[in-house]
Amino acid sequence: MRSQSAMNRSTLSEVGEPLGGETNDAVATNNRMPTWGTAVIPRVASAVILACCCAAIAQAPPDYTKGCGDTACHGGLTRGKVIHAPVSESLCDACHEVTDEKKHTFAYTTDAPELCLECHDDMIEDRDFLHGPVAAGACTSCHNPHASENSALLKAPISELCRSCHETIDARMSDRANKHEPAADDCTNCHDPHGGDNSLNLTSAMPDLCLDCHDDVADRMDEAVGHDAVTAGKSCANCHDPHASDLKHMLLGPTMDLCLSCHTEPIKSENATLLGIGKLLADSTSPHGPIRDRDCVACHSPHGGENFRLLTDAYPEKFYSPFGEDEYALCFGCHDVEAFEDEETDEFTAFRNGERNLHHLHVNREVKGRTCRACHDPHAGLGAKHMAKTVPFGSWSLPINYSSTDTGGSCQPGCHKRYRYDREEAVTNLPGS
């Protein structure tokens, strides 16, 4: 049998003799060579060679002849549905310049935001208002300068991006039941993200911005009677939240609360002074039905209309007016016209002396027909049937002096002596009595 040393020498010979064919007797004699099988050493040598080759490849410099975006270093910068034009054309030197070629370091050719404005100067030119990041030159707070999955190289979808800063808007949009469709869809439906000539960077001034969509409101505003609340101050935003609300029509608050935020105190207009009804409603014991329901828009159009006092339908403007069903369309939307048509009745009205219809007597006339507000306050009264304490009559507050009984009542207004009426047993009112 061969000795162990002989076997080791034989194995080395089979692998190859790195020392020019001479046997390394020192290794064999000292028995330092492992007793591996003849097939193992070739595989180990191959693995060593492969590792050395990989290391050499990894250390090889990138191929810059294909452009920065095609290299192992910066290839990720070009990944996205939308690629910045200089990047797509491998014009990296449009924004970057080499500071040390050996170290492969770069700097911007110009400081921000001037760098961006060399191409995008139209974004801020001649604008009275600028969005905060734009004014601060922080273009890359919203935009990726190389590539993005979003339009305009945005870092996130537009509404998500805006709401990441505008947290109060985000909270309203998240928590409230009704979302304004343009706001939920895309903030840029109403706002210019860079700046503009209008506050809040609105693309148009209100109410024009709102009327671009709400053409039905535009039609009402073109009518003869306008509402200052629509055009003054915050315009539409005086009453509506443009982003989200828990109330219908995106209102900032309940309808009557909004109305009384202005109409509690008297309001002077070009033609008249509007009554402040806050105290009247507070003291009233007999509110009109729509007031009781806190529904001002049952009678008034808040945006504009063709009827005086922004009424939703026809109603006589003067204290005296000829009677006609069409002339009182507003009232007859709720009240029965029959109460005013017949001289005698025992069912359609409680304002009668026996069967003599006193509504017909006062209102249904061709000449000097009294309108409803000759006796009633259209908002609220201090007595039954929202009877007024006084009513405007020229510069005079005409007293009504009305009192009621279980079956009738009496009045002694500024226009006649005290007259009484009773539904069950007619009263004779003698002249001068």
pLDDT in tens, 98-136: 999 888 889 999 988 899 999 999 888 889 999 999 999
pLDDT in tens, 141-159: 999 999 999 999 999 999 9
Mean pLDDT of the 9-13 span: 37
pLDDT at 384: 84
pLDDT surpassing 90 at residue 48: no
pLDDT at 274: 86
User: Are the C-beta atoms of residues 314 and 328 closer than 8 Å to each other?
Assistant: yes
Contacts within 8 Å (CB) and 24+ apart, 311-315: 315/371, 315/372
Q: How far apart are CA 42 and CA 48, in angstroms?
A: 10
CA distances from 76 to 82, 89, 146 (A): 13, 15, 10
pLDDT surpassing 70 at residue 174: yes
Given pLDDT bands bounded at 50, 70 and 90, which one contains residue 20?
Answer: very low
pLDDT in tens, 371-384: 999 999 999 998 88
Q: How far apart are CA 77 and CA 148, in angstroms?
A: 9
pLDDT at 430: 67
Which residues neighbour 3 within 8 Å (Cβ) at sequence distance 6 or greater? none
Q: What is the pTM of this model?
A: 0.78
Q: Classify the phi-psi angles of 48: left when phi > 0, otherwise alpha if psi is within -120 to 50, otherwise beta.
A: alpha
pLDDT in tens, 258-317: 999 999 999 887 777 888 899 899 999 899 999 999 999 999 999 999 999 999 999 999
The token pair that represents 225 in the structure block: 């009677």
Per-domain residue ranges of the chain? 1-34, 114-203
pLDDT at 66: 62
CA distances from 379 to 108, 219, 295, 334 (A): 70, 27, 11, 15
The token pair that represents 430 in the structure block: 């003698």
pLDDT at 162: 97
User: Are the C-beta atoms of residues 299 and 311 closer than 8 Å to each other?
Assistant: yes
Q: What percent of the chain has pLDDT over 70?
A: 83
pLDDT at 71: 64
Hey, which of 241-255, 371-385, 416-430 has the most confident mean pLDDT? 241-255
| Chain mean pLDDT for the chain | 86
Mean pLDDT of the 149-170 span: 96
Q: What percent of the chain has pLDDT over 90?
A: 70
The token pair that represents 289 in the structure block: 């039905």
Closest-CA residue to 192 (of 125, 143, 131): 131
> Among 73-82, 117-126, 420-429, which stretch is predicted with the lowest mean pLDDT?
73-82
Which position has the higher pLDDT, 387 or 19?
Answer: 387
